[in-house]
């Protein structure tokens, strides 16, 4: 027998929708006006950073006991979605704050949590995540970055590639091999590395197709000494922690993709109602209407999938691995398609930087690549199906 409570399972709560309104207001007023300049100048979105700190949308996932606002997984997705709707680069601030700090939240000791989470919650620093290496992208277990035990502490050497907010963040969760002769995947440990640690430097900023406001740099470790209390979780558990983190944070990349696609659809809808050709609004052509309907339909399917995955992330459901990969993969493919179609709907104007659509199309592409490419997401899903 169905009850009203059953139906409530299929809609977001009033609190979640009030949150969306609040984030949208901040995004429209304080982030959107700078998005084109941030992209053109390939500069850090400092205005967005400051607005996110001031509104408590900077690292909303941090639990209340560590001075955060303790947003649930769906609320965090809504924050990222609404920021991405106007500026994908800026949405990487809350997204990567969760990615970098989630290993600490999931597996850090009480001391590590108490040291590193409050400064993040207060907006004093961003938190980055160092897993990928030049020669170990999809194949993370083949990483070479090495931490050698030295007395009570560790000495870190090697490099990490493609690290978001590198140079901006004070804190980095870094994965390194601690037992070179140990079993593949079971020989890696997670550490927190601080920007001020001696021997820790950064590569040049990558020049990218999109998300140009989000700095991406290499991390270089030249015999960086880490005290023993920098370990996150147990020695040898690093890769497990890193992959479990991604199960949760792939959902947030799905949310980012949904936001980018929604931003593009909103822009396209406004344009087709104004633009006239052959004596009519182009919105009155059925060929255009069918495109709009497909864009909205696929976008809504992606959003529902992300929200279901977010609920699974919050509850820690066993099938999160499948749903996190599916939500990220599906939503990012939809974002690429919707932004490409949105450019098409504006014709020549869509191809110019007078409108934000070409930026949104460039920004959408990264969602198919990072936190595991969409080929890797399909491998993850297939592994779950076949096990
Ligand atoms: C802008 C940006 C920001 C990033 N931020 C971070 C970050 O903050 N932290 C971090 O740790 N990493 C980050 N990354 C790294 C990102 O996660 C990797 O680029 C990604 O996982 C792919 O690795 P790769 O680039 O080495 O590609 P490769 O692994 O070399 O893949 C190349 C191609 O081969 C395909 N491929 C590989 N293996 C298989 C397979 N088994 N079956 C089928 N196809 C396969 C891939 O799908 C891809 O199409 C970022 C990357 C970018 C571009």
pLDDT digits over 300-357, tens only? Answer: 999 999 999 999 999 999 999 999 999 999 999 999 999 999 999 999 999 999 999 9
Structural domains in the chain, sorted by start: 4-121 (1.10.540.10), 127-238 (2.40.110.10), 240-386 (1.20.140.10)
Q: How far, rounded to the nearest angstrom, does the alpha carbon of residue 43 sit from its chain's CA centroid?
A: 18
Give the confidence band of 10 by pLDDT, cuts at 50, 70, 90.
confident
Is residue 216 within 6 Å of ligand 1 at its C-beta? yes
Mutate to test the pocket of ligand 1, among 92, 145, 162, 256 (most ligand atoms within 8 A of CB): 162
Q: Is 198 labeled as catalytic in the residue annotation? A: no
Catalytic residue among 82, 133, 358, 371: 371
Handedness of CA 182, 237, 226, 222 (dihedral sign): positive
Among 282, 275, 259, 273, smallest CA distance to 360 is for 259
pLDDT digits over 49-91, tens only? Answer: 999 999 999 999 999 999 999 999 999 999 999 999 999 999 9
Whole-number pLDDT of residue 59: 98
Is residue 164 within 6 Å of ligand 1 at its C-beta? yes
Mutate to test the pocket of ligand 1, among 171, 369, 374 (most ligand atoms within 8 A of CB): 369
pLDDT digits over 250-282, tens only? Answer: 999 999 999 999 999 999 999 999 999 999 999
Is residue 370 within 6 Å of ligand 1 at its C-beta? yes
Whole-number pLDDT of residue 8: 60
Residue nearest to ligand 1 atom 9, measured at CA? 163
Whole-number pLDDT of residue 244: 97
What is the position in ligand 1's atom list of the atom closest to the CA of 160?
11
Within the chain, residue ranges assigned H as helices are 4-8, 14-26, 32-41, 46-55, 73-84, 88-107, 110-121, 238-274, 286-315, 320-345, 357-366, 374-386
Among 253, 80, 59, 247, smallest CA distance to 171 is for 59
Give the confidence band of 11 by pLDDT, cuts at 50, 70, 90.
confident
This prediction has a pTM of 0.97
pLDDT at 7 over 80: no
State the virtual CA torsion across 16, 18, 24, 30 in degrees, nearest 10: -120
pLDDT digits over 371-380, tens only? Answer: 999 999 999 9
8 Å CB contact between 191 and 226 = yes
Tell me how far the alpha carbon of residue 140 lies from the centroid of ligand 1, in angstroms. Answer: 9
Q: What is the mean pLDDT of residues 230-234?
A: 98
**337 Cβ contact list (under 8 Å, min separation 6):** 295, 298
> What is the average pLDDT score of the chain?
97
């Amino acid at each position: 027998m169905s009850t009203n409570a059953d139906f409530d399972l299929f809609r977001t709560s009033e609190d979640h929708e009030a949150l969306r309104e609040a984030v949208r207001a901040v995004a429209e007023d304080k982030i959107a006006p700078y998005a084109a300049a941030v992209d053109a100048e390939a500069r850090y979105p400092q205005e967005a950073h400051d607005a996110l700190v001031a509104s408590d949308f900077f690292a909303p996932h941090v639990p209340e006991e560590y001075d955060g606002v303790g947003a649930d997984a769906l609320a965090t997705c809504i924050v990222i979605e609404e920021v991405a709707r106007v500026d994908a680069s800026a949405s990487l601030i809350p997204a990567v704050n969760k990615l970098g700090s989630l290993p600490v939240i999931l597996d850090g000791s009480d001391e590590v949590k108490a040291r590193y989470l409050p400064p993040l919650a207060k907006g004093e620093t961003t938190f980055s995540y160092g897993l990928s290496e030049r020669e170990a992208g999809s194949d993370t277990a083949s990483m070479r970055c090495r931490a050698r035990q030295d007395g009570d502490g560790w000495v870190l050497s090697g490099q990490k590639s493609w690290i978001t907010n590198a140079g901006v963040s004070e804190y980095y969760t870094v994965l390194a091999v601690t037992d070179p002769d140990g079993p593949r995947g079971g020989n890696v440990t997670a550490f927190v590395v601080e920007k001020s640690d001696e021997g820790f430097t950064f590569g040049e900023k990558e020049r990218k197709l999109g998300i140009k406001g989000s700095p991406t740099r290499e991390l270089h470790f030249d015999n960086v000494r880490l005290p023993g209390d920098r370990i996150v979780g147990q020695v040898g558990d690093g890769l497990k922690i890193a992959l479990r983190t991604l199960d949760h944070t792939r959902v947030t990349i799905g949310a980012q993709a949904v936001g980018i696609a929604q931003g593009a659809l909103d822009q396209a809808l406004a344009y087709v109602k104004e633009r006239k050709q052959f004596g009519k609004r182009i919105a009155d052509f059925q060929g255009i209407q069918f495109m709009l309907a497909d864009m909205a339909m696929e976008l809504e399917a992606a959003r529902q999938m992300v929200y279901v995955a977010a609920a699974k992330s919050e509850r820690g459901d066993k099938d999160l691995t499948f749903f996190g990969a599916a939500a990220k993969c599906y939503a990012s493919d939809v974002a690429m398609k919707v932004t490409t179609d949105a450019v098409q709907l504006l014709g020549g104007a869509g191809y110019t930087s007078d409108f934000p659509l070409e930026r949104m199309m460039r920004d959408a592409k990264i969602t198919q690549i990072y936190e595991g490419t969409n080929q890797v997401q399909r491998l993850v899903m297939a592994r779950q199906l076949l096990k």
